[in-house]
Amino acid sequence: MGQPQQPEGTDDEGAAPTPPPLRIGMVGYAFMGAAHSQGWRTVGHVFDLPRRPVMTAICGRDAAAVRAAADRHGWETAETDWRALVARDDIDLVDICTPGDSHAEIALAALAAGKHVLCEKPLANTVEEAEAMSAAADAAYARGQLAMVGFNYRRVPATALARRMITEGRLGTLRHVRVTYLQDWLTDPQFPLTWRLRKEHAGSGALGDLGAHIVDLAQYLAGEPLAGVSALTETFVRHRPLPGGPSSGLTAVSADGTGEVTVDDAAVFTGRFASGALASFEATRYATGRKNALRLELNGERGSLAFDLERLNELWFHDATEPDTHSGFRRILVTEPDHPYLAAWWPPGHGLGYEHTFAHQARDLVHAVAEGRRPEPSFADGLQVQRVLAAVEESAEKNSVYTPVAA
Ligand code: SOE
């Protein structure tokens, strides 16, 4: 006789039931792989979850490097072929953290294999790929599978609070959405030609990398899609040293020879919402001194909100319904238990950071899976962002002519 059988989902006598596992397989182990790993590793220790994330397997092409990444980040096993990972029957959800040129192929295969999918942004390198992914996600949803895009900045408590305040009407009719995403890691002309600077791998440059984030955030906060854009893009340094040895997108050493940069270094564009609100955007890797400055300001009839990712525990609010004598922007320290995500973390005033957005992303996806609810941002949302990026590129090619975003 063996041991008495434990009913599924329960622990020893008297203990709370253990939620069923959600077995994760991740593809990619560079910066985003590390960030998503941090999210999966942490989420179950902080939030009460209806499913228990298990870090089952991580995948990368270099056997020694992926084994080291598995050990460092806490994955149980390592694979060197993403097709083998997708085929495993002990994986429920595939998390894609690779460069954009493999998102579509892996996501389509994972959905076809019956997995849920989380895909890093931008969803794809082209509108056509994103359309195929969105259609596959719709078909998979009918079979009970979910697909989400990793626009993690929706999960900063301050931006989530901004969304809540906007839906509560604190800004009234929206007039302006002003968003910039400024970095400076590319200012050195000797920085090598990594995959992020090559169109065939990255799709576009600052536009797809940083612009995708701010387009998503602007539309999420405004609660509507952009109707059209007018854009300028520029590649300031057109040739760079080839990378030598191991390189990731943001770090590399040079080898002999140079190659052509085939993506934009910066994109500046304006946009119009159907409601009549105007938007402006700037995405650049050349803003000396700005490391990760995603800044936004929204002005509405009844008030304004402002946020800076480099001070991500703060949200600034101006209530224009107050008398001018004592109104003005005031700082909300977004660390209260009633603020989004924060009841599970630290006492008021003990702030969060960049990495927490990935735990929040994992939390929201686990809930969506357990409830069979379509997660946001969906692949359809990712496709819509891709259409905005395409309209920006088209407008820039035509000397900034106003270009409608395809519906
Ligand atoms: C590099 O520009 C990068 O890592 C982006 O790819 C991320 O999406 C952003 O969150 C931080 O900067």
Q: Spell out the domain ranges in the chain.
A: 21-151, 154-404
Q: How confident is the model at residue 406 (pLDDT cuts 50, 70, 90)?
A: very high
Distance 210 CA to ligand 1 centre (A): 7
Q: Could you tell me how many residues make up the chain?
A: 407
User: What proportion of the chain, given as a percentage, has pLDDT over 90?
Assistant: 92
Distances, alpha carbon 43 to alpha carbons 206, 248, 343, 383, in Å: 30, 26, 13, 27
CA distance 240 to 226: 35
Distance 276 CA to ligand 1 centre (A): 30
For residue 153, give the ligand 1 atom closest to its CA. Answer: 10
Element housing 160 (H / E): helix 157-167
HSE (CB half, 13 Å, CA atoms) of 38? 13
* Closest residue CA from atom 9 of ligand 1: 210
- Residue 209 Cβ inside 6 Å of ligand 1? The answer reads yes
For residue 120, give the ligand 1 atom closest to its CA. Answer: 8
Specify the 3-state DSSP secondary structure of 299: strand
Where does residue 168 rank: exposed (0-12), middle (13-18), buried (19+ CB within 10 A)?
Answer: exposed
CA distance 217 to 142: 27
- Residue 346 Cβ inside 6 Å of ligand 1? The answer reads no
CATH code assigned to 21-151: 3.40.50.720
Dihedral Cα 32, 34, 40, 42, nearest 10 deg: -130
Mean predicted confidence (pLDDT) in 54-60: 98
- Report the relative pairing of strands 314-319 and 239-244 from DSSP bridges: unpaired
CATH code assigned to 154-404: 3.30.360.10
- Residue 31 Cβ inside 6 Å of ligand 1? The answer reads yes
What's the whole-model pTM score? 0.95
Q: How confident is the model at residue 248 (pLDDT cuts 50, 70, 90)?
A: low
Q: Work out the number of other CB atoms within 10 angstroms of the CB of residue 391.
A: 24
Tokens, residue 202: 């990255």
CA distance 252 to 195: 10
Distance 213 CA to ligand 1 centre (A): 9
- Residue 355 Cβ inside 6 Å of ligand 1? The answer reads no
Mean predicted confidence (pLDDT) in 254-282: 96
